[in-house]
Copies of this chain bind each other. A is one copy, B any other.
Amino acid sequence: MRPQFLYEKNLQGVANSVKRKQEQYRKIVRHLYYNGAASIAEIVKAVKMSQPLVASLVDDLMGYGMLLDNGVGESIGGRRPNLFCINSEYQYVIGVDINLHTLNLAVFDLSNKQIFREETKYFDLENSDEYLNSLIEKIESMISQLGIPREKYLAVGISIPGLVDAKQGLSHTHLSVAENGLARVLGDRLGINVLLDNDARTMALGEKAFGKAIDKENVLCLNLSNGIGLGMILNGELHSGKNGFAGEFGHILIDPEGKLCYCGKIGCLETLTSGKILVKNIREAVDNGQPTLLASYKKENRKIDLRAVVEAILQGDQFAIDQLNQMCEYLGKGLVTLIHLLNPEMVIIGGKIAHAGKFVIDPVTMSMNKYAMSRISSETELVCSDLLDDSALMGTMANVMRSVLSLD
């Protein structure tokens, strides 16, 4: 019985024995995917099945081409073990990272390597059939360019901003033109299964699988770009809430006497800290003659956007640093609320502002020290992502594999 390795998991009408065997296959593949090449003996320990059984299952999987012999490993005092690994070319995953103005596409093999990567700038997200069509066109052209047969694609993982109900495959904020749900519409048109989630949550999955959250159980991932997104790993699992609305960190109340937010409420964190506000404030200051590196950027006719601001900060521009510090004070306040509520072991800052590195970490840390109960906050490490701009894209891969290899 060929390994299905996918959404057929809960297929009804299939004999129990088939389901059982598929689950055994999945356990082995799962271990090899998450831990790399291993010997039969190692797999036995990890999957809690007997050695003859594991040996025969591995044999099957080799026969189907899903696993490969990976030579012999080092001895630890006896016969040297035969190692096995996943055939990274057995299947592929398409990753789609949708941003407000940019589209990132990638194709991953089963060793998580990007065998294709493309960034399309000025690909502005809008709720129209045209956008949907050109998105599909982009993916199709990538598929035909690569020449890999369609059935080799395990799934398409998508990251998109806004409110997303991953379970149902719905995107509420963007691309609601897809009437039967974005995941289904894209899946039908591409002929490949589609898995959808919100950008911040996808980033969190990326960090958990490939970034600083590996082996951590309670991690918060902030997506600091134009807005503020939050993806949470709690008890080792992604938290999405009842409808997938969890993580609206940008709209928690920070200043009751603050400004009106576009969400209709007053004093939201996003009215005080966000890439958008930072850029806006700096642009105004430049117009008012504030001396800063960014003023010279403007003279050179370079656009003052978030990327430029971060660049100026990294070059030590005092005014931009001051502006960032001010925002980090508020961000720290907000984070303290999070930490008090959730007691995470790590907070990872991602998004465009994460490029500023210690220029964000340090002032946020200071602010947290000021506002948090130290017994709690001292348990939480604050770091910048090292996946940076790749975290959402890597997250789509992580999301697909998590779904495919889940054990229930």
**B-binding residues in A (CB < 8 A):** 16, 48, 163, 172, 217-218, 230, 234-235, 237, 239-249, 251-257, 263-265, 333, 336-338, 340-345, 371-373, 375-376, 379-380
Shortest C-beta distance, A58 to chain B (Å), equals 20
- Give A328 Cβ to nearest chain B Cβ, in Å: 16
CB distance from A271 to the nearest CB of B (A): 14
* Highest count of chain B CB atoms <10 Å: which of A241, A254, A336: A241
CA distance A360 to B218 in the complex (A): 33
Copies in the complex: 2
Chain B residue contacts of A172, Cβ below 8 A: 375
A379 touches B234 (CB 8 A): no
Q: Which residues of B contact A344 (CB under 8 A)?
A: 241-242
A245 / chain B contacts, CB cutoff of 8 Å: 343, 375-376, 379
In contact, B163 and A241 (Cβ under 8 angstroms): no
Cβ-neighbour of A249 out of B48, B243, B340, B373 (below 8 A)? B340
Chain B residues contacting A163 (CB-CB under 8 Å) are 375
Per a CB cutoff under 8 Å, which of B235, B257, B345, B372 touches A235? B235
Chain B residues within 8 Å of A379, by CB:
242-243, 245
Picked from B16, B239, B253, B345, the residue with its CB within 8 Å of the CB of A333 is B253
Q: 27 pairs across A/B with beta carbons < 8 Å?
A: A16-B48, A163-B375, A234-B235, A235-B237, A235-B239, A240-B343, A241-B344, A242-B343, A242-B344, A242-B345, A242-B379, A243-B343, A243-B379, A245-B343, A246-B341, A246-B343, A247-B341, A248-B343, A252-B340, A253-B333, A253-B336, A256-B333, A263-B373, A264-B373, A265-B371, A265-B373, A338-B341
A27 to chain B, nearest CB (A): 14
Say yes or no: B373 contacts A337, CB within 8 Å: no
Which B residues are in CB contact (< 8 Å) with A252?
336-337, 340-341
CA of A373 to CA of B268, assembled, Å: 11
The chain B residue with its CB closest to the CB of A50 is B16
Q: How far is the CB of A41 from chain B (nearest CB, A)?
A: 15
Min CB gap A244→B, angstroms: 7
A342: chain B residues at CB < 8 Å are: 239, 241, 246
Which residues of chain B are within 8 angstroms of A217 by Cβ–Cβ distance?
242
**Which chain B residue lies CB-closest to A264?**
B373
Given the known interface contacts A163-B375, A373-B264, the answer about A340 and B251 at a Cβ–Cβ threshold of 8 Å is: yes
Query: Quick one: closest B residue to A265, CB to CB?
Result: B371
* Inter-subunit contact B218/A248 (CB<8 Å): no
Do A343 and B244 contact each other (CB < 8 Å), given the known contacts A235-B234, A235-B237, A375-B163? Answer: yes
CB distance from A340 to the nearest CB of B (A): 4
Residues of B within 8 A of A241 (CB): 218, 342-344
Smallest CB-CB separation from A256: which chain B residue?
A: B255
Residues in B neighbouring A249, C-beta threshold 8 A:
340-341
Alpha-carbon separation in the docked complex, A212 to B249 (Å): 27
Instruction: Give Cα A333–Cα B172 distance, bound, in whole angstroms.
Output: 25
- Given known contacts A235-B235, A241-B218, A337 and B246 CB-to-CB distance under 8 angstroms: no
